[in-house]
Amino acid sequence: MTTKKELIDAVHDVVPAATKAQIQSIFEAAFVAIKAELKKDGKFTQSGFGTFEIRERSARVGQHPKTGDKIEIPASKTVTFRPSPTLKKTLNK
């Protein structure tokens, strides 16, 4: 699956009683809740799946790929994902 539509279609195949519009609304609400939790606590854990966590990236000096000039890359925040042991086992089968 590579798109949201494909994910919605896959869920609809498992839960045909729900409309695709309902499934899309549920996904959107879930992602809003995950973003809010990350913003509030800096971490979101789903048992059996994994943990999303906000990490700080420090400022650093980089290199412009075309010109080779050194550039300052400012500090930023990013989200990382750490899969649970259960998910890792599933992927390694």
pTM score of the predicted model: 0.75
Same domain, 46 and 34: no
Q: Do residue 24 and residue 64 come from a single domain? A: no
Mean pLDDT of 26-49: 95
Q: How many domains are there within the chain?
A: 2
Residues 15 and 49 in one domain: no
50 and 79 fall within a common domain: yes
Helix (H) or strand (E) holding 14: helix 4-14
**pLDDT value at residue 93:** 81
CA 23 to chain centre: 18
The mean pLDDT of 10-15, rounded to a whole number, is 95
pLDDT at 1 over 90: no
Strand segments, DSSP code E, in the chain are 43-46, 50-57, 60-63, 70-73, 76-83
The span from the CA of 44 to the CA of 66, in Å, is: 38
Segments forming the whole domain that contains residue 81: 42-93
Q: How many CB atoms lie within 10 A of CB 83?
A: 13
Res 60 pLDDT > 80 = yes
Rounded to an integer, the average pLDDT of 57-72 is 95
